[in-house]
């Protein structure tokens, strides 16, 4: 374990805990006082994403509120919200979960503006064959390279959890491609004392457990051909035992897949804007002959309705012929003839049932018999070109937990096709009371749990930048710069000071998910009135240095208000270059708006402890290096360091730089190659800084990627770095 340098500059804000206990405290909250009388009326507001197409499958774009008719269990409902949106102009979204403060609302609004769409790619590796996984990997890589835009946030989730450290939203291609390359196949197959005899498919095992005579006889005949010493009764017992084992494993894996899918959809509810889930799977069965074994697919429909989103499913087996595998023992010699082929053809269709149901019940659609998986992904994305948001409050709120069926149609246009979620479960007072008791239990490890949420906690809005830089002496560091917006925190006023305690925890993981370092700090904020008011408006910044070996790491950080449920979390990836190879390496790119300081001096860790900050310097608006948001026309300065430039025989350094700007996968700007300037007295430099300015007056508002290419003519090699930022109107 590498030792973390606990030299975070925010420690100047710490104060003794005894100050919080002095005299009588008055609890205050900004901007609303907690002792104000409030009346809370609980309402059930549901939002539906609705797609309307004509008989040719083309989207209808000119509908009005009065054209829609919404029914719940056959009873008309009044629309309380109506909006139309496209891929370039999102519909207006009503925040499904109320945010506790204006700062969190602003953070959600910024996220909506920056990410017009969230896409979750669910890889059902519990049911993918090795061949299907290979095809899926190729299609996903092509999708990321050619379809992903900077305005989209994509998360890659596996049903087995093998990619857990990667399972978060990002618009960075290199992160997603790393995750895709790490997808691996793990064979899961039931075996018995007799090995692979009988060879049972999942579908045949289901039939045998349901006492299907033909399915059982096929298995018995195969056993007797290979084990002639057994009696038919003994063979039947072996077949039943193996079928039971296969069904049990299938049931477990099917429930795991569907539970993961439901959890993903429910976690997306708090995110505003467009959201869709794409399930890539070979298909599977619900599992088991007993009713208690079945997973109620209406739970997924309920989750999609409450999240205002759709699910699409892609059969990764491609074009299926329905023919039996003739290489398997017994195929072609079974009795009665053709029984196995008929059974496998039926099983092929049966595996599609769940894929069809989860898509259709949520308003999406499935794709079967398609060998071009990339084309399938394209169709799903194109399906959301035009859509409507409908919101309503049920006229009668029977809190009985029953499933309510929803139906949307277009008045006077019966030929139009309307797709949306099929329904939801009404609230259940008894279940809610049980959940409330569970929630009332002491919350342990809150900050750790927020790490694992697909949608980050935003009660304490946080943003963070993690960058790689070398000290110039061969020591590589991750520099962590984080900003906390505390305008929604509850403070206690004691002796004209405003006090609040925040627990900040952090962890560093490698690509395997192995924890490389952890840290925990308690921030005891004791603020003067002027600093308190300024910090409420601007938030505060703190910095840390973490010494790391070369590699690819994820840094996660969470903040929790002590003795409350207010929390926030954030994560970022960083690549630490390997200077030990004596090859050209670039640091991260550091940016600053015109007028902001741009530090071009590599960090000196031995001086960090003496460089303490006070309350005045900590109270600051979010710096550009973290926010990476700039107004159109802004002048942006950036700097990076080139390490290990190779010396020519005469001692000269010959490095050239090109700045490239991408919008999605399109180049919108590329500078001429320019030579990096090297002071004559510093020809033997091991770290060479490069500073330049980029003016954004020629670029439309949107998300961009800044790429830096450095070519070493002496070493005949090159190195690259990139940084994502947003141009605002």
- Decide if 72 is inside a domain: yes
- How many percent of the chain have pLDDT more than 90? 46
pTM above 0.75, yes or no: yes
- Decide if 70 contacts 395 (C-beta within 8 A): no
Least confident stretch, 7-16, 182-191, 643-652: 7-16
User: Percentage helix, strand, coil, to 5, in the chain?
Assistant: 30, 30, 40
210, 297: one domain: yes
Backbone angles phi, psi at 220, to 5 degrees: -65, -45
CATH of the domain at 400: 2.60.40
- Decide if 424 contacts 480 (C-beta within 8 A): no
Q: Which of 673-677's residues contact partners 24+ apart within 8 Å by CB, and which partners?
A: 673/711, 676/642, 676/710
487, 542: one domain: yes
End-to-end CA distance of the chain: 46
The sign of the dihedral angle between the CA atoms of 511, 374, 367, 61 is positive
pLDDT in tens, 47-63: 899 999 999 999 999 99
Question: What per-residue confidence (pLDDT) applies to 76?
Answer: 94
399, 331: one domain: no
58, 152: one domain: no
539, 404: one domain: no
CATH of the domain at 280: 3.40.50.410
- Decide if 346 is inside a domain: yes
Question: What per-residue confidence (pLDDT) applies to 96?
Answer: 47
Question: What per-residue confidence (pLDDT) applies to 285?
Answer: 86
77, 156: one domain: no
Backbone angles phi, psi at 349, to 5 degrees: -70, -40
Which of 520, 553, 581 is the C-terminal boundary of a domain?
Answer: 581
pLDDT in tens, 557-583: 999 988 887 889 999 999 999 998 889
Domain with 175 in it: 117-384
7, 68: one domain: no
- Decide if 216 is inside a domain: yes
412, 308: one domain: no
In Å, how far from its chain's centre is CA 518? 22
Range with the largest mean pLDDT of 21-25, 104-108, 128-132, 612-616: 128-132
71, 176: one domain: no
65, 139: one domain: no
- Decide if 681 is inside a domain: no
341, 379: one domain: yes
Statement: residue 107 has pLDDT above 60: no
Statement: residue 190 has pLDDT above 80: no
């Amino acid at each position: 374990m590498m030792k973390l340098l606990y030299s975070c500059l925010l420690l100047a804000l710490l104060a003794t805990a005894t100050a919080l206990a002095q005299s009588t405290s008055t609890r205050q909250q900004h901007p609303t006082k907690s002792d104000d009388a409030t009346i809370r009326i609980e309402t059930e507001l549901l939002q539906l994403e609705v797609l309307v197409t004509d008989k040719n499958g083309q989207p209808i774009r000119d509908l009005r509120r009065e054209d829609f008719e919404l029914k719940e269990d056959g009873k008309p409902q009044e629309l309380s919200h109506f909006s139309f949106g496209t891929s370039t102009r999102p519909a207006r979204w009503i925040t499904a979960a109320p945010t506790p403060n204006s700062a969190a609302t602003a953070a959600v609004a910024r996220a909506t503006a920056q990410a017009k769409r969230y896409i979750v790619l669910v890889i059902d590796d519990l049911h993918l064959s090795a061949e299907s996984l290979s095809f899926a990997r190729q299609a996903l890589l092509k999708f990321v390279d050619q379809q992903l835009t900077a305005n989209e946030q994509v998360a890659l989730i596996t049903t087995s959890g093998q990619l857990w450290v990667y399972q978060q939203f990002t618009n960075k291609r290199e992160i997603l491609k790393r995750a895709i390359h790490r997808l691996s196949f793990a064979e899961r197959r039931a075996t018995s004392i007799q090995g692979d005899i009988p060879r049972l498919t999942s579908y045949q095992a289901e039939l045998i457990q349901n006492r299907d005579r033909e399915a059982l006889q096929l298995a018995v005949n195969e056993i007797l051909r290979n084990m002639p010493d057994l009696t038919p009764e003994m063979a039947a017992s072996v077949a039943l035992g193996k079928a039971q084992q296969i069904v049990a494993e299938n049931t477990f894996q099917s429930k795991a897949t569907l539970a993961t899918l439901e959890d993903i959809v429910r976690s997306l509810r708090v995110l505003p804007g467009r959201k869709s889930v794409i399930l890539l799977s070979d298909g599977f069965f619900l599992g088991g002959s007993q009713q208690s074994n079945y997973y109620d697919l209406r739970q997924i429909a309920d989750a999609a309705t409450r999240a205002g989103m759709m699910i699409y499913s892609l059969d990764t087996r491609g074009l299926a012929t329905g023919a039996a595998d003739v290489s398997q023992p017994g195929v072609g010699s079974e009795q009665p003839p053709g029984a196995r082929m008929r059974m496998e053809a039926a099983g092929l269709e049966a595996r599609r049932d769940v894929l069809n149901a989860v898509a259709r019940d949520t308003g999406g659609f499935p794709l079967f018999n398609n060998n071009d998986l990339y084309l399938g992904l394209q169709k799903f994305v194109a399906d959301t070109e035009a859509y409507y948001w409908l919101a309503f409050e049920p006229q009668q709120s029977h809190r009985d937990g029953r499933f309510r069926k929803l139906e949307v149609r277009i008045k006077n246009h019966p030929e139009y096709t309307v797709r949306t979620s099929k329904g939801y479960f009404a609230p259940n007072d008894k279940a809610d009371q049980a959940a409330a008791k569970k929630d009332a239990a002491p919350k342990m490890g809150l900050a750790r749990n927020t790490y694992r949420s697909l949608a980050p906690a935003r009660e304490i809005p946080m943003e963070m930048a993690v960058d790689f830089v070398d000290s110039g002496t061969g020591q590589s560091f991750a520099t962590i710069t984080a900003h906390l917006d505390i305008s929604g925190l509850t403070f206690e006023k004691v002796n004209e000071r405003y006090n609040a305690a925040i627990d900040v925890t952090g962890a560093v993981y490698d690509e395997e998910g192995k924890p490389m370092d952890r840290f925990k700090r308690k921030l005891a904020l004791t603020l003067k009135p002027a600093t308190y008011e300024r910090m409420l408006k601007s938030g505060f910044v703190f910095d840390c240095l973490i010494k790391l070996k070369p590699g690819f790491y994820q840094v996660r950080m969470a903040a929790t208000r002590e003795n409350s449920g207010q929390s926030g979390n954030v994560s970022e990836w960083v690549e630490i270059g390997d200077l030990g190879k004596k090859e050209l390496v670039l640091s991260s790119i550091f940016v600053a708006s015109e007028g902001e300081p741009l530090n071009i001096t590599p960090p000196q860790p031995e001086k960090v402890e003496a460089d303490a900050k006070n309350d005045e310097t900590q109270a600051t608006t979010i710096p550009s290096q973290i926010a990476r948001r700039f107004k159109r026309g802004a002048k942006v300065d950036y700097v990076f360091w080139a390490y290990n430039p190779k010396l020519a025989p005469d001692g000269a350094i010959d490095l050239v730089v090109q700045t490239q700007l991408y919008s999605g996968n399109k180049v919108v700007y590329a500078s001429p190659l320019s030579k990096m300037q090297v002071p004559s007295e510093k020809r033997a430099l091991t770290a060479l800084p490069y500073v330049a300015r980029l003016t954004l007056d020629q670029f439309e508002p949107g998300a961009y990627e800044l790429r830096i290419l450095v070519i070493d003519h002496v070493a005949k090699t090159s190195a690259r770095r990139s940084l994502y930022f947003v141009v605002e109107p």
